[in-house]
Amino acid sequence: MGRLASLRRLGAAERRTLAAAWLLLLIVPPFLRVLPLRRLLTPPRRSGGLQLSPERVARLVEIAARRVPRARCLSVAIVTAWLLARQGTPAILRIGVARHATRLTAHAWLECGGVPLLDDVGHYTPILAVAVATS
The 10s digit of each residue's pLDDT in 88-135 is: 899 999 999 998 888 999 999 999 988 999 778 888 999 999 998 776
pTM: 0.87
pLDDT in tens, 7-41: 668 888 899 999 999 999 999 999 999 999 888 88
Nearest alpha-carbon partner for 83 in 107, 104, 106, 63: 63
Nearest alpha-carbon partner for 26 in 62, 89, 99, 75: 75
Q: How many CB atoms lie within 10 A of CB 14?
A: 18
pLDDT at position 100, please? 82
